[in-house]
A and B are shown apart, each in its own frame.
Chain A
Amino acid sequence: MTATTLRRLTGDEKHAPSAHSTLDVLRVLYERVLRISPETADEPDRDRFLLSKGHGPAAYYAVLADRGFIPEHWLDRMGRWHSRLGTHPDRVLIPGVEVGTGSLGHGLGLAVGTALGLRAQGFTEARTFVLLGDAELDEGSNFEAIAYAAAIRLPLTAIVIDNQSATHGWPGGIPARFPGWSVSQVDGHDHDEIDRALSVRHERPHLVVATVEPKWS
């Protein structure tokens, strides 16, 4: 269903690998994990999903349409004048979108603040998820958030889609860049594996590395 929906989105082919690499994780999140729906999209104790990797949001839009957050016909005009769907998402324009992103390296810091805000208000059931790309980790701002979340044992879940797109790569792989976090590594297309990794609640920050085919292969 979502694959069909996804084909309606055109105009941002440059970011197609980026968009399609996230599709399975997004489906699992919205179909199995997140406690959110169009009806509860403004509840203060809802789960939060922040798409940090705002490039190539076609899969995100397709899932939001499938789940009823946005009308399907919005998908046909992505990036056009008077469309609500840009080639980077805007939370002010799109129901269900928690943050407007596109410039890399902003989602994880916002997610840390979101998780802190939920905790400070006693919303202990509410979980915070943030999705990043492996190349996005090159942005230094992420490391401020990674280290701080580990130091205060903040329960949030960061999902890194690894399609080996970082220009220089990273010795030791992605988990080596998240000291103090618990780690799951999953096949980025295997819904049951993704589900298991995302459904477990942790008392400290958790990293899920979802491996997909290399961007440049």
Chain B
Amino acid sequence: MRETFVATTTALLDEDPRTALVLADISADVFAPALRRHPDRALNVGIREQLMVGVGGGLALTGMRPYLHSYAPFLIDRAYEQIKLDLGHQDAGAVLVSIGGSYDAAAAGYTHQSPGDVALLDTLDGWTVQVPGHRDEVPAMLREAARHDDRVYIRLGLQENARAHPDGGKLRVLRRGGPLVLAVGPMLDPVLAATRDLDVTVAYTNTPRPLDVEGLRLIAGGEVVVVEPYLAGTSARLVGEALNGLPHRALHLGVGRAEIRDYGTWEDHARAHGLDAAGLRKSITDFLG
């Protein structure tokens, strides 16, 4: 996904003089041609994430369309107040593109992990959050974001589904059956594997914000399981609001709150958080009974 992001954003910079790229050293090597070709609007501010967001806000206030990129813990967690004030409070927009959300940087430890990025953005108004489940879903997201001035967060990950669903903005039903299991982004394949022989409806979205609440209300029966690749329960408030007035039970699966002080790979952490197929199957069958 990262390579797709670099290729598409480099092309966007070539095609659209309104676009700008702001880096804080991360990925500066792979963006070297863009930085060389567009020195006025492809910028590497050094290891300065607060400044990266401030610069993005300033660029947007002059009418440009900035793309900001870093590891999720630095892009979102560290610069949270800049995101809140230098973008939101100014009524300015930007496209934030992260890598290293949740436990992608498993071997690096918790300093380089951010399971709470989407929850943090949920404290703010007006963010579109996109979580591609496949690299082929990324280019359309980046190109669409160039056409307006809204605030967009695109969360790139190492984990991918076998198939792309570029039309995954609204809830897309992939299998019809009993209770709804909603998979966000790269959680789709583990969900499909976990529920292969269960009587459930499986729906997919790669755009959890704004959550397709009308779609959810239409397809959710009395029981809903949400499987997200970030902090468990991040979408609980929105799902609750969507199903307000409908009798329902909901189970929210995602990354646990407790820090796992171990290394390994993202697969190891997925297993530890119960987000592999076996863990999901157990949670889902326990819940549905």
| B-contact bits for A72-101, CB 8 A (1 contact / 0 none) | 000000000000000000111000001110
Neighbour of A110 across the interface among B41, B66, B90, CB < 8 A: B90
Contact residues in B for A117 (Cβ distance below 8 Å): 20, 58-64
Chain A interface size range:
20 to 34
The answer, yes or no, to whether A68 is at the interface (CB within 8 Å) is no
- B60 contacts which chain A residues (CB < 8 A)? 113, 117
Max count, chain A CB within 10 A of own CB: residue among B20, B51, B82, B86: B51
**Interface residues of chain B: helix, strand, loop or mixed (majority):** helix
Contact A112 B55 (CB under 8 A): yes
Q: Select the stretch in A16-24, A32-40, A140-148, A162-170 that faces chain B.
A: A140-148
Tell me which of B42-50, B119-127, B136-144, B279-287 binds A. B42-50
Q: Once the chains bind, are A112 and B41 in contact (CB under 8 Å)? A: no
A118 contacts the other chain (CB 8 A): yes
Q: Inside 8 A of B41's CB, which chain A residues have their CB?
A: 116, 120
Which of A98, A148, A151 has most B Cβ within 10 Å? A148
Q: B91 at interface (Cβ–Cβ under 8 A)? A: yes
Task: Return chain B residues, CB-CB under 8 Å to A141.
Answer: 50-51, 54, 82
Is A111 interfacial (CB-CB < 8 Å)?
Answer: yes
A112 touches B90 (CB 8 A): no
> By the criterion CB–CB under 8 Å, are B55 and A116 in contact?
yes
Interface residues of A in 165-217 (CB under 8 A from B): none
Determine if A115 is an interface residue (Cβ-Cβ < 8 Å). yes
Contact A144 B45 (CB under 8 A): yes
Interface residues of B in 237-270 (CB under 8 A from A): none
Beyond A91-B90, A116-B40, 11 additional contacts (C-beta under 8 Å) are A44-B62, A44-B63, A90-B89, A106-B82, A106-B85, A106-B86, A109-B58, A109-B82, A121-B63, A144-B46, A148-B46
Q: List 12 A-B contacts (CB under 8 A).
A: A91-B91, A106-B85, A109-B55, A110-B55, A113-B54, A113-B57, A113-B60, A116-B58, A117-B60, A117-B61, A140-B50, A148-B51
Q: Which residues of A contact B (CB under 8 A)?
A: 44, 90-92, 98-100, 103, 105-106, 108-121, 140-141, 144-145, 147-148, 151
